[in-house]
């Protein structure tokens, strides 16, 4: 029951970063053992089975995410700024490669082959994130800061999907900048109330009907 030892945390952290790279079947106890500098059997002492390890890891990830949202809401009160911080957090994680993907997003892609206990935890994260985004968007719309085209709930789903897709593209292209490009546009769309008139956050460029980056 004790989790005082740093080894316990090291195993979780190591497994997390390994999962971020290749998902549930993309790492083994041997991989973790090598990185942490411990023997394979010792991992079983802390986490009897792989399912235990990953379930714990995801549960902790979700707690951290929730804490992150709370902290974020304490830092800034404006919905727009909260979205900006949220996106900025990921932009930084991807840029410095410290956590170039959301653990739950990656695991969700493999949901059909995931142990059920892990899958449940992953799904819960999606619901939580969706609810949080819904509340932020709803508030932003009510305050007239955000311009929604659909319900806050649907907009939240689109927001989440776009962010996840942006992570995927950044990985596929091997270029962290793509994440910022996509999410920047996402925020731009939400904050510019009407395409015609500029509003406080516009950065100049607005309308295009001429291309710029199609070759290669």
Asked if 5 is part of the footprint of DNA (rule: CB under 7 A), the reply reads: yes
Binding its own copies by CB under 8 A: which of 82, 86, 164, 176? 164
Asked if 77 is part of the footprint of DNA (rule: CB under 7 A), the reply reads: no
Binding DNA by CB under 7 A: which of 12, 23, 27, 171? 27
x-marked contacts with its own copies along 101-120 as a string, rule CB under 8 A: x---xx-xxxxxx-------
Taking CB under 7 A as the binding criterion, the range among 1-9, 95-103, 160-168, 187-195 that sits at the site for DNA is: 1-9
Alpha carbons within 13 angstroms on the beta-carbon side of residue 27 total: 25
Asked if 70 is part of the footprint of its own copies (rule: CB under 8 A), the reply reads: no
Name which of its own copies, DNA, none residue 77 binds, using a CB cut-off of 5 to 8 Å depending on partner kind.
none
Taking CB under 7 A as the binding criterion, the range among 27-35, 160-168, 176-184, 207-215 that sits at the site for DNA is: 27-35
Which sign does the torsion angle of CA 24, 168, 202, 152 carry? negative
Taking CB under 8 A as the binding criterion, the range among 21-29, 53-61, 63-71, 74-82 that sits at the site for its own copies is: 21-29
**Binding positions for its own copies, 120-149, rule CB under 8 A:** 122-123, 126-127, 131, 134-135, 138, 141-142, 147-149
Question: Which of 193, 196, 216, 214 shows the shortest CA–CA distance to 206?
Answer: 196
Taking CB under 7 A as the binding criterion, the range among 44-52, 58-66, 120-128, 152-160 that sits at the site for DNA is: 44-52
Asked if 214 is part of the footprint of its own copies (rule: CB under 8 A), the reply reads: yes
Shortest distance, position 174 Cβ to its own copies, whole Å: 8
Q: HEC profile for the chain?
A: CCCCCHHHHHHHHHHHHHHHHHCHHHCCHHHHHHHHCCCHHHHHHHCCCHHHHHHHHHHHHHHHHHHHHHHHHHHCCCHHHHHHHHHHHHHHHHHCCCCCCCHHHHHHHCHHHCCHHHHHHHHHHHHHHHHHHHHHHHHHHHCCCCCCCCCHHHHHHHHHHHHHHHHHHHHHHCCCHHHHHHHHHHHHHHHCCCCCCCCCCCCCCCCCCCCCCCCC
Residues that bind DNA (CB under 7 A): 1-2, 4-5, 7-8, 27-31, 38-42, 44-46, 48-51
């Amino acid at each position: 029951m004790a989790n005082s030892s740093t080894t316990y945390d090291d195993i979780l952290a190591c497994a997390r970063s390994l999962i971020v790279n290749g998902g549930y079947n993309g790492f083994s106890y041997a991989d973790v053992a090598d990185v942490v500098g411990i023997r394979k059997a010792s991992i079983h002492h802390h986490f009897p089975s792989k399912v235990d390890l990953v379930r714990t890891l995801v549960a902790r990830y979700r707690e951290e995410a929730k804490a992150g949202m709370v902290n974020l809401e304490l830092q800034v009160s404006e919905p727009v700024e909260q979205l900006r911080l949220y996106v900025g957090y990921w932009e930084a994680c991807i840029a410095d490669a410290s956590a170039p993907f959301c653990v739950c997003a990656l695991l969700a892609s493999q949901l059909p082959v995931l142990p059920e206990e892990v899958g449940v935890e992953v799904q819960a994260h999606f619901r939580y994130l969706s609810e949080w985004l819904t509340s932020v968007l709803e508030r932003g719309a009510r305050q007239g800061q955000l311009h929604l085209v659909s319900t806050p709930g649907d907009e939240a789903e689109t927001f989440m999907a776009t962010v996840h897709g942006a992570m995927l593209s950044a990985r596929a292209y091997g270029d962290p900048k793509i994440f910022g490009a996509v999410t920047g546009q996402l925020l731009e769309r939400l904050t510019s109330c009407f395409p015609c008139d500029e509003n406080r956050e516009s950065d100049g460029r607005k309308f295009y009907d001429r291309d710029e980056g199609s070759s290669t």
